[in-house]
Structure 1
Amino acid sequence: MPYFSIIVPVYNRPDEVNDLLKSLSQQTSKDFEVILVEDGSTVRCAEAVERYADALDIHYYYKENEGRSIARNYGMERASGRYFIFFDSDCVIPERYFEVLSKALNRHYTDCFGGPDAAHDSFTDVQKAINYSMTSFLTTGGIRGGKVQLEKFTPRTFNMGFSREVYERVGGFREMFSEDIDMSTRIRQAGFSIALIRDAFVYHKRRVNLRLFLRQIYIFGMSRISLYLLYPDTLKLVHWLPACFVVGSLAMIIGSFFWWPAILPLALYLLAVFVVSWCMNRRLKIAVLSVAASVIQLGGYGVGFLKAFFLKVVLGRGRDEAEEVRLRKGK
């Protein structure tokens, strides 16, 4: 019986699954099984599974499309490990990941953990820029595992794990946007310990172009209000910052038509984003793309947040939705 059960929901990602399985086959510690749940894909990853069947203990399931949360729960129901690990299918795992994780849990056991993400050298310039915008303190306040953080760390399912005991007491994921934040909140409310294991990082490809990134981040902004309706005390100042960025940027742009120095704070901020990205990546193109990705990250999230706040809180349209989510048991 393996100690870890890796659970990955998959939807039309055969190439990414191949990269994920390749990275898992190169782990220095292999006390794990891999459970892939194909969630109604029309382009399956069976060929990739077959390719690594001799190198890994893989359990491959195909089910009708019901959503990634239900797919993860389906995997947990069939897992044999004592500790469940969750990756997204677009992750690549460093070869010492499970060696590092095992040592960390042996030193200071935690019921639930999360780790940060990084950009691999093989990623495209756009993916590296998006990774910067999602991990930089200048854009997200370090909430995804940064060394300096404006909010208590919350594990997310691109790199997250919890014990079988957590699953048996708390249940599985609920089908909703930001289901991982919902799950982490329920785990914390149940009294379990949660920790950031910073050295257990993954390479996360994220979106391949800025258009898809905008759509994703807009949904993140809207889902934050859904989480607020479920857990009012979880809405922090850091979550308002993108909305402030949107309102403030519009005010500065309009004001610059009447008094040009009004745009200087925004220009200086974007210059700081550019300089920090250039220092980190040493590529002019990535630094330029990082500015674009950061504007999309803050602007998309802020617009989604403001729209959802107006519709669901001010107009009161979110109460029924919140009650419906509360009734879901995460099974």
Structure 2
Amino acid sequence: MIKYSVVVPIYNRPKELDELLESLTLQEFTDFEVIIIEDGSSISSEHIAKKYQSLLKLLYFSKSNEGQGFGRNFGVKYASGEFLIFFDSDVIVPKEYFKTVDAYLEDHKIDAFGGEDKASDDFSDFQKALSYSMTSVLTTGGIRNKNQNAGGNYQIRSYNCGIKSELFREIGGFKKTNMGEDMELNNRLEKLQVLKRLIPNAFVYHKRRGDFKSFFKQIFSFGRTRVQLKNMYGISIKIVHLFPVGFVLFTLFAVLLITFNTDYRYLPIGLLSLYFGAIFVHSTVSTLNLKVGFLSTIASFIQHLAYGLGFLKEVLFPNKK
């Protein structure tokens, strides 16, 4: 039987940690330990950790702020499990998660794995809309949850993934602490031809919070990070990453056509309307909720705009740090 070590960095989010730890107490498979790393928070989660110490095999550490990647590295030093499981603090873990993972790993000799992220039925309409925009095939091509089992090249994501402890330590853990640290890790694993898989049904509920303004800032950073990863580590940029750039340029083109009152001024607006109309219909049908469909349309627009602008910003005015 495999033993697991769950490593979770936390920064100013005690309520999120409470929900995550509560979900871990409900697991059908219980042979795992939990390591919480308070990464320089000004709002401590120590009282939340103490609340669950009698219910879970739990270790809590507080340290100066370095970011989630190095926070995970810190926690791994105290991990005793054969497999490390990394969760973000804003996920909720279904009760079948570890049972599903353990059964898969018993039958498949792999070195690392990942799982999907979804919205739970009890999430707010806003949270469901953000989840749709981040995972839908119409917005991201479904790249976050794409099953690449045929080639063993699944891109693990640090909000929900696992890796053999021995391998993680051998390669030195995360080398980048924020934004894209999992992509840099993937890059090294692929160079080593490590076998990675998406485990079907090993999903988590990703409870994104905030507002559209903070969502824009986050996605803008994602766009910049994609270029930085190419410049710093040679990680290739895929066609799907260029789609938001095309969206920004196409939207600018549409504005210019309308501004100068050309004969074709309504054509690009019509195409954009068709695209976002499809998003509205697809989201509404998949969630059975008109409000979620409407919010998903706004979230998807913001996502494309922010990522494209962030990408272009880093190409034209790169960060020299």
Secondary structure of 2:317's aligned partner: helix
2:145 counterpart residue number: 145
Q: Does structure 1 conserve the Cα–Cα contact (< 8 Å) formed by 2:2 and 2:83?
A: no
Task: State the 1:106 CA deviation.
Answer: 1.2
TM-score normalised according to structure 1 size: 0.90
TM-score normalised according to structure 2 size: 0.93
2:7 counterpart residue number: 7
Cα displacement string for residues 142-182 of structure 1 (whole angstroms, at most 9, x for unaligned residues)? 11114699x96311111011001221221111224211111
Q: Tell me, in whole angstroms, the C-alpha distance in 1 between the residues paired with 2:74 and 2:178.
A: 16
Q: Tell me, in whole angstroms, the C-alpha distance in 2 between the residues paired with 1:17 and 1:185.
A: 29
Q: Tell me, in whole angstroms, the C-alpha distance in 1 between the residues paired with 2:3 and 2:21.
A: 18
Secondary structure of 1:85's aligned partner: strand
Q: Tell me, in whole angstroms, the C-alpha distance in 1 between the residues paired with 2:86 and 2:202.
A: 13
Identical positions, percent: 41
Query: Does residue 182 of the first structure (1) align with residue 160 of the second (2)?
Result: no
Matches within 5 A, 1:3-152: 3-146=3-146
Q: Does structure 1 conserve the Cα–Cα contact (< 8 Å) formed by 2:187 and 2:235?
A: no
Cα displacement string for residues 46-82 of structure 1 (whole angstroms, at most 9, x for unaligned residues)? 2221221111100001111121111100001111111
Query: Does residue 196 of the first structure (1) align with residue 198 of the second (2)?
Result: yes
Q: Tell me, in whole angstroms, the C-alpha distance in 2 between the residues paired with 1:125 and 1:146.
A: 24
Structure 2 letter corresponding to 1:56: L
Cα displacement string for residues 9-51 of structure 1 (whole angstroms, at most 9, x for unaligned residues)? 0011111100000000000001100000001112111222122
Structure 1 letter corresponding to 2:294: V
Structure 1 letter corresponding to 2:93: I
Q: Tell me, in whole angstroms, the C-alpha distance in 2 between the residues paired with 1:308 and 1:133.
A: 23
2:226 counterpart residue number: 224
Structure 2 letter corresponding to 1:63: K
Q: 1:148 to 1:109 in 2, by over 3 A?
A: closer
Q: Does structure 2 conserve the Cα–Cα contact (< 8 Å) formed by 1:35 and 1:75?
A: yes
Query: Does residue 205 of the first structure (1) align with residue 207 of the second (2)?
Result: yes
Q: Tell me, in whole angstroms, the C-alpha distance in 2 between the residues paired with 1:232 and 1:43.
A: 37
Secondary structure of 1:200's aligned partner: coil
Q: State the Cα RMSD in Å.
A: 1.9
Q: Tell me, in whole angstroms, the C-alpha distance in 2 between the residues paired with 1:161 and 1:61.
A: 21
Cα displacement string for residues 98-145 of structure 1 (whole angstroms, at most 9, x for unaligned residues)? 000011111112111111100012221111100000000111111111
- Greater CA deviation, 217-226 or 101-110? 101-110
2:284 counterpart residue number: 278
Q: Does structure 2 conserve the Cα–Cα contact (< 8 Å) formed by 1:136 and 1:146?
A: no
Task: State the 1:209 CA deviation.
Answer: 1.3
1:170 counterpart residue number: 171
Task: State the 1:284 CA deviation.
Answer: 1.0
Alignment coverage as a number of residue pairs = 314
Structure 1 letter corresponding to 2:225: S
Structure 2 letter corresponding to 1:99: K
Query: Does residue 236 of the first structure (1) align with residue 242 of the second (2)?
Result: no
Task: State the 1:311 CA deviation.
Answer: 2.2
- Greater CA deviation, 117-126 or 253-262? 253-262
Q: Does structure 1 conserve the Cα–Cα contact (< 8 Å) formed by 2:27 and 2:95?
A: yes
Moved over 6 A (4+): none
Task: State the 1:261 CA deviation.
Answer: 2.9
